[in-house]
Amino acid sequence: MLRVAITCATIMAFAASAMGGVADTKHNFTSAASSPDAYFTGASQVCAYCHTPHNASNTMMPLGSHEPSSQTYIMYDSPTMDMSRTAQPNDPSLVCLSCHDGTIAVNALNPVPGASGAGTYGTPSGSALDGSGLLTTSSDAYVGTNLSDDHPVGIIYNAGQDNDFEVKTGNSNNYPDKLLYNGTYVECSSCHDPHDNTWGSFLVESNSGSALCMRCHNK
């Protein structure tokens, strides 16, 4: 009986750590321990860098607080692409790019916690941020505004146009339906979940054996 209890406790402890939470990831910008290369001193609210409970200022994500980027992105293109795509990325990509394109400060929020409007939250610290809170171009996390060297986003998924693709339908927030934004588009959110770093690189699942790639590609 005791052994069963210990085993259960061990499994539960493992499950808790494996599930993690955004606070244990590099997306916790209030903590030098969680995000040693990019954090802000004088800030304590983990969720506030992306969400606000009131007066949300953008629709890139639910209850969005982060300032949007106003960049025009260079999109991926190649002669072997078959599906159509939108001229620019859609919201579930724009939200990531609002920090990862390096043109908007990670701590540029509207509203700032405890204040009534837009401003900056905390003082930048760590080698991946410059003095104004922008992601530096030398950071591994820097994507920039040229997306021509990145997996395409804004793609209108249509397996009928290429039999090298899995047929995908449905639209819910549950993975794997989350693979396609609005049941249609390939975006950053197809492969990444900003809250969960269980699989590394905030991936939605393990990419061991390229399992993630094969959710869509028949290769």
Which residues here bind ligand HEC, judged by CB under 6 A?
22, 26-27, 35, 37-38, 46-47, 49-51, 61-62, 66, 78, 80-83, 92-93, 95-100, 106, 128, 135, 139-141, 143, 150-153, 155, 157, 162, 173, 179, 186, 188-195, 201-203, 207, 212-213, 215-217
Residue 173 · residue 204 · CB < 8 Å: no
Residue 112 or residue 212: which is nearer to ligand HEC going by CB?
212
For ligand HEC, give the closer residue by CB, 56 or 141: 141
What is the closest distance, in whole angstroms, from the C-beta atom of residue 17 to ligand HEC in the complex? 16
CB of 67 to ligand HEC, least distance (A): 9
Residue 92 to residue 95: CA distance in whole angstroms = 6
SS3 assignment, position 41:
strand
Q: Report the C-alpha gap between 207 and 186 in whole angstroms.
A: 17
Tell me how far, at minimum, the Cβ of 192 lies from ligand HEC, in Å: 3
Q: Considering the complex, what minimum distance in angstroms separates the CB of residue 99 from ligand HEC? A: 3
Pick the closer one to ligand HEC by CB: 10 or 182: 182
Instruction: Say how far apart CA 177 and CA 183 lie, in whole Å.
Output: 7
Q: How far is the CB of 148 from ligand HEC (least distance, A)?
A: 11
Q: Given the complex with ligand HEC, which of 100 and 122 has the nearer CB atom?
A: 100
Supply angle C-alpha 152, 66, 93, rounded to 5: 10
**Whole-angstrom distance, CA of residue 164 vs CA of residue 219:** 7
Residue 191 burial (C-beta neighbours within 10 Å; 0-12, 13-18, 19+): buried
Q: Is 44 exposed, middle or buried (0-12, 13-18, 19+ CB in 10 A)?
A: exposed
Max CA distance (Å), the chain: 64
**Are residues 134 and 106 in contact, defined by beta-carbon separation less than 8 angstroms?**
yes
Q: Which is nearer to ligand HEC, 93 or 110 (CB)?
A: 93
In the complex with ligand HEC, the residue whose CB is nearer, 10 or 127, is 127
- Shortest distance, position 90 Cβ to ligand HEC, whole Å: 10
